[in-house]
Amino acid sequence: MQLKHLLEALPSPVSVPESAAAIEINEFAPLDKAKAGSISFLASAKYRRLLESSEASAILLTEKERENCPSSITAIVVDDPYLAYAYLSHQFDLTPKGSGHIHPTALVSDAAQIGRDVTIEAYAVIEADAEVGDNAHIGAHCIVSEGAKVGEFTRLQHHVTLLHRVEVGTHCLIQSGTVIGSNGFGYAPLPEGKGWQPIAQTGRVKIGHYVEIGANCTIDRGAIEDTVIEDRAIIDNLVHLAHNVTIGRATALAAQIGIAGSTHVGANCSAGGQSGFTGHINIADNSHFTGQAMVTKGTTEAGLYSSGIPAQASGLWRKMVARIRKLDSLFERVDAIEKKLK
């Protein structure tokens, strides 16, 4: 693909020297691995040292970095190189496109509503009263259960399960192995240790538009109210959302996060990997949590929040823990001294 044609995928026009417009670009590559025909990007000054030895044909960078670009490489000046890379990366996407056909081994109920140009791959199951919108793509071995809805241009990768009455909006992507609409963990204790009485989970899961959900996630349906994921949220692999959780617009959750029931996470929030949220709390818009945060209380204002102890040398860590164990006795001694001084 010629460089000038590739750059047409950017939302704003970018000027290219006439002598470089016809350069053939065939891949994105990191600065230190790029060859002739590669395009790369410089999004952080810490990688500036790689510019001099890079063999890329073109590099996305800011005006500030233009002077550091070797004359042998075409500098493409943009406001945000990483965002520009995100736009252009789709020109090299190798994900198979939909055929617009239903595979003969797929089981599609006569009572299901299937839109135009829908792809349904081998052994998928579409149950009665399910709805699949125009240009949707249902991967092999997926299940779209009774009364579930899949919006137009949404793609379910292989082995995705949408249980009854789940609603997924338009232009969404749900990766393989994810289960949406499983029963929430709702039980009432029986007397005298006789076990637990299950609570029927009568809510739904409602997912907005342009939402992306990673592989092997589990999203429980609501107990009474719905579990909700709002527009443009992104969820990484191996995330669990319990019943009645709400995830606000454009919020990002990294891998291995667990959010307990009835917690409401606001818009434009983010949480690092392995963070855990207790139930029945409210997280304010624009709250951000570093990895392994243990969130036991809600937030009332935007900000960056952290907990947990970063890894350090074992000897130092043991010394610190030993001192923590002495905090109670130290507190009592200080308290006694203060009383005497008074």
pLDDT tens digits, 58-114: 999 999 999 999 999 999 999 999 999 999 999 999 999 889 999 999 999 999 999
Residue 220's nearest CA partner among 259, 262, 181 is 181
The whole-number average pLDDT for the span 268-288 is: 98
* Cβ atoms of residues 41 and 59 within 8 Å: yes
List active site positions: 243
Those residues with Cβ within 8 angstroms of residue 199's Cβ, 6 or more apart along the chain or in another chain = 186, 187, 188, 223
Percent of the chain residues topping a pLDDT of 70: 100
Q: Please state which of the ranges 137-141, 170-174, 334-338 shows the lowest mean pLDDT.
A: 334-338
Using DSSP, state whether 322 is helix, strand or coil. Answer: helix
pLDDT value at position 193? 86
> Mean pLDDT, the chain, as a whole number?
96
pLDDT value at position 310? 84
pLDDT above 90 for 175: yes
pLDDT above 90 for 309: no
pLDDT value at position 207? 98
The pLDDT tens digits of the residues spanning 312-326 come to 999 999 999 999 999
Q: Please state which of the ranges 103-117, 140-154, 280-294, 318-332 shows the lowest mean pLDDT.
A: 318-332
CA distance 315 to 173: 46
pLDDT value at position 15? 86
- Could you give phi then psi for residue 24, rounded to 5 degrees? -85, 125
Q: Please state which of the ranges 146-150, 212-216, 217-221, 325-329 shows the lowest mean pLDDT.
A: 325-329
Q: How confident is the model at residue 289 (pLDDT cuts 50, 70, 90)?
A: very high
pLDDT above 90 for 17: no
Q: How confident is the model at residue 19 (pLDDT cuts 50, 70, 90)?
A: confident
